[in-house]
Amino acid sequence: MSGGRSPKRDTFNKDLQYYKFCAYGFLKNLRFYEPFLMLFFLEKGLTYFQIGGLYAAREAFIKPARFRRD
């Protein structure tokens, strides 16, 4: 017989800060600006091909920077 504690899980109170953290985790990667950015570029006279090139360039520059940080 061991003299340790029972294998009961420790619990904590889920206060407002916990729910804020959960909401942040869900909302942090959403991009609500994307459709408006597309409309802005169309209004400025860019074609869909040019907009696609801008999006591709952005991803090409952002993705390698993410890999270097890790």
Q: pLDDT tens-digit profile of 10-63?
A: 676 778 888 898 888 888 878 888 899 999 999 999 999 999 999 999 888 887
Long-range CB contact pairs, 47-54, < 8 A, 24+: none
Q: Is residue 48 part of a domain?
A: yes
* Boundaries of domain holding 69: 33-70
Query: Contact 14/4 with Cβ under 8 angstroms?
Result: no
Q: Is residue 10 part of a domain?
A: no
Distance in angstroms (rounded) separating the CA atoms of residues 48 and 63: 22
Q: What is the DSSP letter of 2?
A: -
* Domains of the chain: total: 1
Q: Is residue 25 part of a domain?
A: no
pLDDT at position 46, please? 97
